[in-house]
């Protein structure tokens, strides 16, 4: 009965690291599988190249004739690289990516075989969309979905398939994916930030949001992972007694990377490099068998495509190395979970990072403008930003003393805090020449030096300023970054738009100079957004009560967190920034709730299987051994047996009690599940799963873990934490 656990352990012991050849430089490998600029130069006519570049940079339309030329060029390149198929690669609301492959191969009516790929196939495709979640959009509009080419993210070859990044929309134009709203949010932030950046430099004509993600993950031997039904079905362990040694010795973090893992990483990095993903950093994370990978930051849309592609490549390469990658936010209880920090900034087409202080007072005023507007945006829309990282998996991690709490706050550090304090004292209206000089010399002018030695870091803050960018730390490891990035860029766009209006009004109506007007508006923002700034310990109980006093939201679970999406204010925001229509927002809320229900439901079912199929049978088997032992002792010693069987008798009783309780809990959970399933309203159903079903999980787990501790190791059927976490 227990053989599967021990067979898996035996198999995991036979693994050797696969030798990965490191020939040549990474820079020479970079992007060889991507239809990037150098290939465009080689394969495209001048007209087509210009038209495509226009579409990439400014989103201008490509006409059909040019599309045909581009398709022909991409086909030529792809076939020369050995590609046989093409696919529109898109991001349905399930959170991952989808693809449907078509062969280039085609037959003409006369039977001639050839390779075909025209502009039509490049620009648009119609996958059977009916099984992707649409949150009711398709029912409402009876519309089918189609995918449309996103020229701002280059086509690439993966295996033998040419992948064309696309958006996925219904025929009536509603976005059915995560990319379309993202592109709209990026365009909104481009418009708003460009207009504000022009106060400082007229030559700015485009602003890109930049994103550098840091992907955390666990790597578990494939045989061991497959021996656990919970890992197979839910991506995490639902039961498991904490091993004697966990992460308390801190001996894994930044430690020597095990050789099997290193060979996986090298293989992965090579593949990523070919795909144009600029991977840079790799290291061990805090928990045993936990690792991190981070690239050089890129324009946000491309960075997001690259993160999604990375997760896919990781699965495949891990399989080759006999590993399974766990992207779940909390695969193991009692041990750190995995997140995906999103480092975010804004960069102009003139090469300036708008969140980086510069060498002149004016450049620093520009920095302060974007810095303070971001703070103000997060203050106004903190709850909406929180909603963008809500998921069943992330509920296990947020606020668990290893990741930021569900309360949003911003860390700016003591030095920048004092700059903000000084700016708060700027006079209303016109500034005297003395005040201007003072501001230039001693406040704004000092910023670069200040930041140079600004070494204070706060790991407990969910939104921290780290010198030249903000770092959003609560994003889950599995999350599609498009979700938080859509919200963040939308709220910053809205804020910058409002800011511009206010500054222009002061210039026009109050005849203030530009810098005076900017100082005046920023001063008010600093005053009104104070509650969001917090430099203390975000994990502490004091912060929780302080945050409550400041009226900051603290939505601890997904159903609660998603409410705000459809508030009057949120809907108005999305509409005014042209990011999502009301139908699109409601659809996303519905899909996210549905996802939450399904994940919790699956966990509930797996608990059922674990308890009845593994835990109770094993407990009974061991109990029977004890019973047999006690009767044997009784046979030999008669009434005197008690002296020798006292321990066994207590154990028999303890096991019996755990069996009774765990069975009760699982049955009660199943009843709660049935009641929840009967609810028609998605929100009510999600709440029922959250409040009535999920609380049983930890109870069930408690009894299982107690049994695991009590039982004969040889009879315990589920691969133990020790084995999952320390076999490398």
- Choose one: 2-10, 291-299, 522-530, 650-658; the region binding ligand ADP (CB under 6 A): 291-299
Which residue number, 214 or 230, has a Cβ lying nearer to Mg ion? 214
Site string for ligand ADP, 188-217 (x = CB under 6 A): ----------------------xxx-x---
Q: Is 296 in the site for ligand ADP (CB under 6 A)?
A: yes
Minimum distance, C-beta of residue 479 to Mg ion, in the bound complex (Å) = 15
Q: Backbone phi, then psi, for 433, in 5-degree steps?
A: -55, -35
Give the β-pairing of 340-348 and 323-326: unpaired
State which residue, 214 or 329, has the beta carbon closest to Mg ion: 214
Partner touching 345 among Mg ion, ligand ADP, none, CB below 5 to 8 Å by kind: ligand ADP
Burial 450-476 (b: 16+ CB within 10 A, else e): ebeebeeebebbbbbbbbebbbbbbbb
What value, to the nearest 5°, has the Cα angle with vertex 669 and ends 665 and 670?
120
- In angstroms, the CA 159 to CA 161 distance is 6
457-486 residues near ligand ADP, rule: CB under 6 A: 468-469
Residues binding ligand ADP: number (CB under 6 A): 13
Distance of CA 244 to the CA centre of its chain: 31
Site for ligand ADP in 672-711 (CB under 6 A): none
443 touches ligand ADP (CB under 6 A): no
Q: Which residue is nearest to ligand ADP (CB)?
A: 212
Torsion of CA 662, 667, 670, 671, to 10 degrees: -140
Q: Which is nearer to Mg ion, 320 or 459 (CB)?
A: 459
Of 29, 26, 16, 23, which Cα lies nearest the Cα of 263?
A: 16
Q: At what angle do helices 179-197 and 300-320 cross, to 10 degrees?
A: 140
Selection from Mg ion, ligand ADP, none that 608 binds (CB < 5 to 8 A by kind) is: none
Nearer to ligand ADP, 62 or 477 (CB): 477
Question: Which member of 85, 328, 341, 658 binds Mg ion (CB under 5 A)?
Answer: 341
603 binds, among Mg ion, ligand ADP, none (CB under 5 to 8 A by kind): none
Residues within window 53-82 making contact with ligand ADP, judged by CB under 6 A: none
CA-closest candidate to residue 585, choices 93, 89, 90, 165: 93
User: Which is nearer to Mg ion, 67 or 475 (by Cβ)?
Assistant: 475
Between 229 and 467, name the residue whose CB sits nearer to Mg ion: 467
Query: Site size for Mg ion, by CB under 5 A?
Result: 2
Q: Which does 296 bind (CB under 5 to 8 A by kind): ligand ADP, Mg ion, none?
A: ligand ADP
Torsion on CA atoms 478, 482, 483, 487, rounded to nearest 10: 150
Complex with ligand ADP: residue 122 or 209, whichever CB lies closer: 209
Task: Specify the residue, 240 or 474, whose C-beta has the smaller distance to Mg ion.
Answer: 474
Nearer to Mg ion, 95 or 339 (CB): 339
Residue among 3, 135, 183 nearest 562 (CA): 135
Which of 36, 176, 164, 178 is closest to 101 using CA atoms? 164
CB of 65 to Mg ion, least distance (A): 47
Q: Which range, of 23-31, 75-83, 247-255, 338-346, touches ligand ADP by CB under 6 A?
A: 338-346
**Under rule CB under 6 A, residue 344 binds ligand ADP:** yes
| Main-chain dihedrals φ then ψ at residue 621, nearest 5 degrees | -60, -45
Report in angstroms how near the CB of residue 447 gets to ligand ADP at its nearest: 17
Which residues neighbour 110 within 8 Å (Cβ) at sequence distance 6 or greater? none
Detail the DSSP E strand segments found in 80-125: 85-89, 101-103, 105-107, 113-115, 124-125
Which of positions 208-227 make contact with Mg ion (CB under 5 A)? 214
With contact defined as beta carbons under 8 Å apart, do 187 and 152 qualify? no
Contact predicate 529/409, CB 8 Å: no
Task: Map the footprint of ligand ADP across residues 349-408, applying CB under 6 A.
Answer: 353
On whether the CB atoms of residues 12 and 719 are closer than 8 A, the answer is no
- Report the run of H or E that residue 465 belongs to, with start and end: strand 463-465
Closest residue to bound Mg ion by CB: 341
Specify the residue, 363 or 586, whose C-beta has the smaller distance to ligand ADP: 363
Burial label for 664, CB within 10 Å (0-12, 13-18, 19+), is: middle
Does the footprint of ligand ADP cover residue 273 (CB under 6 A)? Answer: no
Q: Does 491 bind ligand ADP (CB under 6 A)?
A: no
What, of Mg ion, ligand ADP, none, does residue 212 touch, CB below 5 to 8 Å by kind? ligand ADP
Q: Interface with ligand ADP by CB under 6 A: which range of 32-40, 292-300, 496-504, 663-671?
A: 292-300
For strands 410-411 and 463-465, give the pairing.
parallel
To ligand ADP, the closest distance from the beta carbon of 673 in angstroms equals: 41
Q: Which does 294 bind (CB under 5 to 8 A by kind): Mg ion, ligand ADP, none?
A: ligand ADP
Q: Does 386 bind Mg ion (CB under 5 A)?
A: no
Nearest to 514 by CA among 364, 362, 372, 367: 362
The SS3 call for residue 607 is helix
Shortest Å distance, C-beta 466 to Mg ion: 8
Chain centre to alpha carbon of residue 262: 24
Q: 520's torsion region: left (phi>0), alpha (psi -120 to 50) or beta?
A: alpha
- Positions in the binding site for Mg ion (CB under 5 A): 214, 341
- Positions in the binding site for ligand ADP (CB under 6 A): 210-212, 214, 294, 296-297, 343-345, 353, 468-469
């Amino acid at each position: 009965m227990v053989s599967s656990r021990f067979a898996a352990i035996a198999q995991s012991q036979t693994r050797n690291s696969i030798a990965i050849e490191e020939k040549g430089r990474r820079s020479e490998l970079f992007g060889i599988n991507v239809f990037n600029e150098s290939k465009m130069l080689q394969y495209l006519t001048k007209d087509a190249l210009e038209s495509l570049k226009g579409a990439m940079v400014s989103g201008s339309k490509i006409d059909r004739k040019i599309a045909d030329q581009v398709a022909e060029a991409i086909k030529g390149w792809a076939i020369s690289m050995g590609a046989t198929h093409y696919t529109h690669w898109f991001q349905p609301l399930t959170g991952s990516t989808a693809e449907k492959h078509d062969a280039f191969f085609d037959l003409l009516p006369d039977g001639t075989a050839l390779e075909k790929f025209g502009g039509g196939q490049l620009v648009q495709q119609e996958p059977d969309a009916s099984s992707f979640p649409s949150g009711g959009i398709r029912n409402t509009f009876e519309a089918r979905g189609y995918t449309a080419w996103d020229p701002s993210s280059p086509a690439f070859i993966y295996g033998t398939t040419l992948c064309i990044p696309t958006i996925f929309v219904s025929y009536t134009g509603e976005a059915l994916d995560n990319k379309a709203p993202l592109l709209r949010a990026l365009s909104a932030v481009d418009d708003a930030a460009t207009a504000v950046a022009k106060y400082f430099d007229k030559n700015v004509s485009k602003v890109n949001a930049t994103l550098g993600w840091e992907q955390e993950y666990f790597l578990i031997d494939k045989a061991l992972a497959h021996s656990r039904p919970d890992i197979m079905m839910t991506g995490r362990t639902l039961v498991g007694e904490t091993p004697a040694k966990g992460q308390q010795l801190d001996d894994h973090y930044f430690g020597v990377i095990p050789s099997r893992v290193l060979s996986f990483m090298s293989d992965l990095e090579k593949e990523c490099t070919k795909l144009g993903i600029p991977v840079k950093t790799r290291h061990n994370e805090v928990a045993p068998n936990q690792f991190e990978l981070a690239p050089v930051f890129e324009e946000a849309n491309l960075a997001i495509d690259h993160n999604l592609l990375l997760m896919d490549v990781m699965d495949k390469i891990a399989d080759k190395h006999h590993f399974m990658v766990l992207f779940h936010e909390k695969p193991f209880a009692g041990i750190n979970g995995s997140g995906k920090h999103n480092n975010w900034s804004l960069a102009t087409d003139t090469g300036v990072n708008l969140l980086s202080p510069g060498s002149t007072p004016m450049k620093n005023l520009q920095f302060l403008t974007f810095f303070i507007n971001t703070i103000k945006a997060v203050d106004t829309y903190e709850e909406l930003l929180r909603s963008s990282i809500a998921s069943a998996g992330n509920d296990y991690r947020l606020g668990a003393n290893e990741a930021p709490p569900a309360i949003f706050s911003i860390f700016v550090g003591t030095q920048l805090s004092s700059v903000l304090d000084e700016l708060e004292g700027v006079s209303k209206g016109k500034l005297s020449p003395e005040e201007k000089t003072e501001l230039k010399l001693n406040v704004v002018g000092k910023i670069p030096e200040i930041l140079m030695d600004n070494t204070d870091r706060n790991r407990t803050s969910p939104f921290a300023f780290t010198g030249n960018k903000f770092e959003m730390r609560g994003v889950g490891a599995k999350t599609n970054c498009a979700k938080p990035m859509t919200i963040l860029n939308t709220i910053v766009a809205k804020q910058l738009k409002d800011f511009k209006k206010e500054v222009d009004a002061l210039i026009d109506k109050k005849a203030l100079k530009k810098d005076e007007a900017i100082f005046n508006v920023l001063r008010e923002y600093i005053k009104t957004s104070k509650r969001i700034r917090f430099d203390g310990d975000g994990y502490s109980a004091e912060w929780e009560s302080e945050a409550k006093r400041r009226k900051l939201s603290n939505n601890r679970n997904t159903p609660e967190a998603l409410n705000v999406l459809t508030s009057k204010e949120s809907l108005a925001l999305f509409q005014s920034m042209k990011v999502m229509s009301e139908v699109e927002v409601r659809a996303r809320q519905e899909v996210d709730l549905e996802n939450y229900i399904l994940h919790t439901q699956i966990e509930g079912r797996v608990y059922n299987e674990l308890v009845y199929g593994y835990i109770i049978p094993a407990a009974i088997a061991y109990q029977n051994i004890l019973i047999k032992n006690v009767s044997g002792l009784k046979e030999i010693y008669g009434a005197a047996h008690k002296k020798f069987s006292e321990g066994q008798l207590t154990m028999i009783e303890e096991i019996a009690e755990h069996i009774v309780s765990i069975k009760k809990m699982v049955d009660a959970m199943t009843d709660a599940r049935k009641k929840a399933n009967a609810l028609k309203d998605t929100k009510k159903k999600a709440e029922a799963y959250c409040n009535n079903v999920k609380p049983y999980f930890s109870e069930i787990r408690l009894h299982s873990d107690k049994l695991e501790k009590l039982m004969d190791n040889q009879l315990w059927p589920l691969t133990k934490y020790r084995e999952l976490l320390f076999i490398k």
